[in-house]
Amino acid sequence: MTRTAPAPARPVRRPSRGRLAVVALGIVAALLAVRIVTGGADVDLPDLLSDLITFTLSVIIESLPFVLLGVLLSLVVQVWVKDAWISRVLPSAPVPRRIVLSLLGVVFPVCECGNVPFARGLMLRGVPVSDSFAFLLAAPIINPVTIITTHQAFGFDDGILVVRLVGGFLIANLVAWLYSRHPEPERLLTDRFAAECRMPHSESGGRAGRALGIFQHETASMLPALFLGALVAGAIQVAVPRDVLLALGTHPVLSVLAMMALAIVISVCSSVDAFFVLPFASSFLPGGIVAFLLLGPIVDVKMLALLRTTFTPRTLAQISGVVALACLAIGLGVNLVS
């Protein structure tokens, strides 16, 4: 019996950069042409479908710049920031390190959508998984944009601003501390992201090329999640009558639960959620307003979809439970003293 030697692998011919550039620009031109042609079409969709599309696209378009900013910050951290700089900035002791991470939003105010890719970048550079929660959960609340807009909306009335900041800080550090005791923190991550974290940090190739590679990789994770989160958030908007929730405003317990439910379904950006909830302040007790402002930036439909790119469903369920209980306790406490 004669054995045939395997044929040598043929080198894969990659199209030239010039040809790829033509293809890329052709795709952009085709998309633009389709968009222009369909933009003026007189299509009479049913109200619910039309509103579902408007809601879904609204969430995507509103989130897009923040997601892109987060991806850009993430690739800067991965490509241009040196390990020595990270270890110099972050304290080695766990508690101070988590405190510093929970205040990092002050210098990187990228909204909750952008925080996910940024946190992924931090973990890929060796920041512990549990510590990343301190950043992820606190940064949407403790950042200058959110602080200014919350102050513009409420001033110091009913202590809403102070409770929001202190509550966000405490919840983030509580969750980070809880998970710092986890014996196998890698099990909190999706298999794929855990595998990425295990890989050695690559310094090969040009920085621009590596940065574009990270851009491509992160958008492949973030955009499908954003689309799905936006679709679910949009579907809830057309399916759940909002006045059902708002009828519960003056009950000391139900008002808090109703505003927490609203925070989860509304998926509004943390930088402006104070303006959104301001009109409800006259019909809802302050505990409900505080619970909305604490829970929304951490746990909402869109945010959960984005976090799902990185964490297992079990982890997200646990975090949602802990955060919701903490927000409920704080909201009830505010109603008790107000």
Q: Which of positions 294-313 make contact with another protein (CB under 8 A)?
A: 308-310, 312
Helix residue ranges per DSSP H, the chain: 17-39, 47-79, 83-89, 94-102, 111-124, 129-138, 144-154, 160-180, 191-198, 207-239, 242-246, 254-266, 273-277, 286-295, 301-307, 313-337
Phi-psi domain of 10 (left: phi exceeds 0; alpha: psi -120 through 50; beta: other): beta
Q: What is the DSSP string of 88-128?
A: HHS-SSHHHHHHHHHTGGGT---HHHHHHHHHHHHHHTT--
Task: Tell which one of 60, 79, 285, 330 touches another protein (CB under 8 A).
Answer: 60
Q: Which stretch binds another protein (CB under 8 A): 3-11, 77-85, 189-197, 327-335?
A: 189-197
Of 155, 205, 207, 338, the residue at the interface with another protein (CB under 8 A) is: 205
Residue 106 is a binding residue for another protein (CB under 8 A): no
Q: Least CB distance from residue 87 to another protein, whole Å?
A: 22
Closest CA to 296 of 130, 101, 149, 106: 149
User: Between residue 268 and residue 287, which ones bind another protein under the rule CB under 8 A?
Assistant: 268-269, 272-273, 275-276, 278-280, 282-283
Rg (CA), the chain: 23
Which residue number, 63 or 180, has a Cβ lying nearer to another protein? 63
Q: Is 233 in the site for another protein (CB under 8 A)?
A: yes
Q: How far is CA 214 from the centre of its chain?
A: 18
Is residue 76 near another protein by the rule CB under 8 A?
no
CB of 251 to another protein, least distance (A): 16
Distance CA 120, CA 218 (A): 9
Q: Which stretch binds another protein (CB under 8 A): 96-104, 140-148, 175-183, 232-240?
A: 232-240
Phi-psi map region of 207: left, alpha, beta (phi>0 left; psi -120 to 50 alpha): alpha
The answer to whether the beta carbons of residues 275 and 240 sit under 8 Å apart is no
According to DSSP, residue 284 is labeled S
Of 8 and 40, nearer to another protein (C-beta) is: 40
Determine if 11 is a binding residue for another protein (CB under 8 A): no
Write each residue from 152 to 181 as x if it is in contact with another protein (CB under 8 A), else as -, in one continuous string.
------------------------------
Residue closest to 207 by CA, chosen among 327, 333, 78: 78
Count of residues that bind another protein according to CB under 8 A = 94
CB 118 within 8 A of CB 104: no
Does 199 engage in binding with another protein (CB under 8 A)?
Answer: yes
Kindly state whether residue 13 participates in binding another protein, applying the rule CB under 8 A: no
Residue 68 is which amino acid? L
Comparison of 103 and 236: residue with beta carbon closer to another protein: 236
Judged by CB under 8 A, the stretch of 79-87, 126-134, 178-186, 222-230 that binds another protein is 222-230
Task: Report the residue from 2, 4, 92, 204 that binds another protein according to the rule CB under 8 A.
Answer: 204
CB closer to another protein, 2 vs 282:
282
Q: Per CB under 8 A, which region of 129-137, 233-241, 318-326, 327-335 contacts another protein?
A: 233-241
Closer to another protein by CB, 85 or 275: give it. Answer: 275
Shortest gap between Cβ of 280 and another protein (angstroms)? 6
- Residue 323: Cβ-neighbour burial (10 angstroms; 0-12, 13-18, 19+): buried
Identity of the residue numbered 106: V
Please tell me whether residue 261 binds another protein under the rule CB under 8 A.
no
- Amino acid identity of residue 129, one-letter, is V
Residue 238 binds to another protein (criterion: CB under 8 A): yes
